[in-house]
Amino acid sequence: MKQIKHYCANVPHLEWSGNLWFTVDIKDNETIVTCKDMLLMDIGKPGYTEFENGTDIAEYVMKNPSVMNYRMGLIHSHE
């Protein structure tokens, strides 16, 4: 969450996007998503961000193998 808050605070008028590693638990009929790690891939423009996964994501996973224990998805901001 520190990284997410950092990017929201420091680029509040630009869209940003990247990969997110997370866990999902269901307790008492409630879904709990816990962010574990994030890799920023793009700081775009107001209302627009895009990226393609390439070798940089593989390099990140190799340097941070613990992320393989989590689900991976996409994250992006909205201005």
**Residue boundaries of the structural domains of the chain:** 2-76
DSSP state of 43: E
Mean pLDDT of 19-32: 96
Q: For the segment 29-72, what is each residue's pLDDT rounded down to a tens digit?
A: 999 999 999 999 999 999 899 999 889 999 999 999 999 999 99
For the whole model, what pTM was predicted? 0.85
Q: Which of 60, 55, 21 is nearest to 38 (CA)?
A: 21
